[in-house]
Structure 1
């Protein structure tokens, strides 16, 4: 990836990891001028958000919080990995599920 592309999209990539509102803001900012680095991280964040919502509202409700608690902790660690990757200017995929996010949301960002 070109250094200019990373430098230009780094702010949007970092903003995308700041709650779902940050993801929405980064998505809107990235619509004007598509940046592949920012798009990568926006897709990762959208995937994490979807998994988090499913974990809280479905697994937490029907499977119990003994199951959803550890899953939330794992998702938090994945969020940290993504945020650090964005801050370092790397396209670091989230372990285990990052490829899925890139495939599922390739048309979004």
Structure 2
């Protein structure tokens, strides 16, 4: 058995976004991602082979989708289900607090 707390064990210094695999089996995995003002590099797009369901537990962020240049703003409790190979990027995350994401890749 493994247990933990999604809001704890976050480093005081976070020079890069932090991703931590919490659980997984076969092609599925669950990650905690912590952002502190981080965003995708200019010109970079995620193009993942699996679906991603992601929720903001704390903080806020915005995702941009390449296909229609749609910007989706996420606040605490908001989630989005991203299709495989749907190119997207993290446009921004909150500067004033940690943004804690829960991501399920399947």
TM > 0.5 fold call: no
For this structure pair, what is the TM-score category when the shorter chain's length is used for normalisation? under 0.3
For normalisation by structure 1, the TM-score amounts to: 0.25
Name the structure with the higher helix share: 1
Name the structure with the higher strand share: 2
